[in-house]
Amino acid sequence: MYRYDEFDRAFVEARVAQFRDQVERRLKGEITEDQFKPLRLQNGVYLQLHAYMLRVAIPYGTLSSRQLRMLAHIARTYDKGYGHFTTRQNIQFHWPALAEIPDALADLASVEMHALQTSGNCIRNISADHFAGAAADEVADPRPYAEILRQWSSAHPEFSFLPRKFKIAFTGAERDRAAIQTYDIGLHLKRNAEGELGFAVWVGGGQGRTPILAKKIRDFLPHEELLSYVTAIVRVYNLEGRRDNKWKARIKIMVHELGAAEFARLVEAEWENLKGGDLSLPQADIDAIEAYFAPPALPDRPEGDAAVRAARLDSRTFSDWLDRNVVTHRHPDYAAVTVSLKAIGETPGDISDAQMDAVADIAERYGFGEIRVSHEQNLVLPHVARADLPAVHDALVAQGLATSNIDLISDIIACPGLDYCSLANARSIPVAQQIALRFSSLERQREIGELKLNISGCINACGHHHVGHIGILGVEKKGGELYQVTLGGAADEHASLGEIVGRGFGPEEIVDAVETIVETYLSLRHDRAERFIDLYRRLGAAPFKEALYGAEARVA
């Protein structure tokens, strides 16, 4: 796993000291709120409805047990005993006092963590496939490249005041688990016909008020040219992107208005001056970073097959969990385990300090001390011997972390919404909870099959509603909440944007509406192999509109 070098350590420690001084001066009244606000945002500190909020970066969603224990300590010491994992693989604490945040940041720095690049118009914390380094279908681990970009972009003077925030995601597999087409830049690590490593480069994706999927502007970029090419993209954007209108300032608008071909032409022209130069990565540098990400030595554990077979026969709960929450590892004796943070009726992505400590212990004992955060707001133990799966399952059950619902309707992505967020128009969490409770039977959920339901509390779309198979957007109407439903979105390699199905639903109607949609799907699908999204692509919105609004449309 990557460990800070001396430069990183000194840099982060200097930032903590600087911010401590800034907070002290603010509390003494030596600087005004207008002066202080951009400073606190640069350190991940927002002001929300009830209190300040601290957002801590988790680069490419990778954590060690030691770091997760520190997050538990932060939750216990400076917050109210829990944290919230976000769709950007970060964690948020909802209740810290401003006066204590410098202490929290100092504690975080002791385990090489910080809150940099979690706010502001800079290159934000970079995300990656949560199964990176473990997935059986992966070409290569993309995280060393994410780390190279992180080092390059941290406090980079040219790119610290971009027209708007800038988000980059990586995948190392054909199957996109990192939603790269929804990013400003999405990078897909692959091999060409000659077996060389490189990237397909996607640009101009984004959600929010104007959702647009990224366009592929280059099918194969030699991997050593990653920095030169990304620099060319960001430079073109920095020079030509709009700064006059916040809603038009993201790169997606520029790519959309210019067209992908013209945008690519500008980038290639800029790149001509950069490629092969100082920004080309020497193989030795790539190797040095890659060494940090070297997977743990995985001893053969062939007894796993028998252990899993016996446990399957022994326990239906284990068997269900194995089918839903455990995926194939590149080493046949191992598996990657998804730890569900979506217990029925709980807040999606929330985790208590005790649960964090427990996951850290389980990871240490059975998973080489490695944990990942998924953008679907779950945790992952990327390397677990199959022989240890029964023990891991039991340990997770004891913590309420073994709900067998990954990719099912109760595995809901939900932003904090109006229960916490000062930008929200409506609540997200209670809607997620009520839907999960309505479909609480796991048997019924399995019968429905893969169904991604995403909820955002406002048009900023932190809850990824545009790319949910079923998306729910909360809006404010006449002082109350109203929920708009979109259908047909997807965030994988076949990404699509959901379409609004019709008028919105009140808080008392939305769960019924979701059930109607699900029942309509069940009544029309060919068989279980036809997932909700497949059926929507075959039949479109018409049957759902009829089921939701038919009677009312006929009356009108």
Partner 1 sequence: MKVLTANRLFDGEAVWLAADHSWAETLPAAHVAHDEADEERLAAHGKLSAARNEVVDVELIDVQLVDGAIVPLRLRERIRAAGPTVRGDLGKQARAVPALAAA
Least distance CB 432 / ligand SF4 (angstroms): 12
For tokens 């401590």, name the residue: 20
Count the neighbouring beta carbons within 10 Å of the beta carbon of residue 136: 15
With respect to partner 1, which residue has the nearer C-beta, 47 or 397? 47
Per-residue binder mask for partner 1 (CB under 8 A), 457-476, x = binder: -------------------x
Decide if residue 421 touches ligand SF4 (CB under 6 A).
yes
Piece of the chain touching ligand SF4 by CB under 6 A; list 15-23, 136-144, 459-467, 524-532: 459-467
Distance of CA 274 to CAs 153, 193, 226, 267, 283, Å? 17, 25, 11, 11, 17
CB of 475 to ligand SF4, least distance (A): 11
Q: Which partner, ligand SF4, partner 1, none, binds residue 397 by CB below 5 to 8 Å per kind?
A: none
- Considering only CA atoms, which of 101, 191, 74 is closest in space to residue 137? 191
Tell which one of 133, 144, 382, 457 touches ligand SF4 (CB under 6 A).
Answer: 457
Q: Considering only residues 385-404, where is the footprint of ligand SF4 by CB under 6 A?
A: none
Applying CB under 6 A, which part among 18-26, 126-134, 383-391, 419-427 lies near ligand SF4? 419-427
By the rule CB under 6 A, 83 interacts with ligand SF4: no
Given 463, 471, 498, 504, the residue binding ligand SF4 (CB under 6 A): 463
| Cα dihedral 276/282/287/289 (nearest 10) | -80
Helix (H/G/I), strand (E/B), else coil: 46: strand
Q: Exposure string (b/e) for 236-265, b if CB count within 10 Å is 16 or more?
A: bbbeebbeeeeebbbbbbbbbebebeebbe
The number of CA neighbours under 13 Å toward the Cβ of 61 is 30
Compute the least distance from the CB of residue 115 to ligand SF4, in Å.
17
- Of 135, 169, 462, 518, the residue at the interface with ligand SF4 (CB under 6 A) is 462
242, 162 Cβ separation under 8 angstroms: no
Tokens 């909020």 sit at which residue? Answer: 53
Q: Are 246 and 194 in contact (CB under 8 A)?
A: no
Residue 430 contact partner, candidates partner 1, ligand SF4, none, CB within 5 to 8 A by sort of partner: partner 1
User: What 8-state DSSP symbol labels residue 251?
Assistant: H
CB 116 within 8 A of CB 44: yes
The interface partner of residue 47, options being ligand SF4, partner 1, none and the CB cut-off 5 to 8 Å by kind, is: partner 1
Site map (CB under 8 A) of partner 1, residues 130-169, x = contact: ----------------------------------------
**Alpha helices in 293-428, H assignment, sequence order:** 304-314, 316-325, 353-366, 389-398
Distance CA 540, CA 130 (A): 31
- Residues 426-455 touching partner 1, rule: CB under 8 A, are 426-427, 429-430, 433
Q: Determine which residue in the list 109, 311, 336, 424 makes contact with ligand SF4, applying CB under 6 A.
A: 424
Q: Could you tell me which stretch among 27-35, 259-267, 273-281, 381-389 binds partner 1 (CB under 8 A)?
A: 27-35
Residue 179, contacted partner among ligand SF4, partner 1, none, CB below 5-8 A by kind: none
> Per CB under 8 A, does 299 bind partner 1?
no
Neighbours of 81 (CB within 10 A): 12
Question: Which parts of 99-128 interact with partner 1 (CB under 8 A)?
Answer: 99
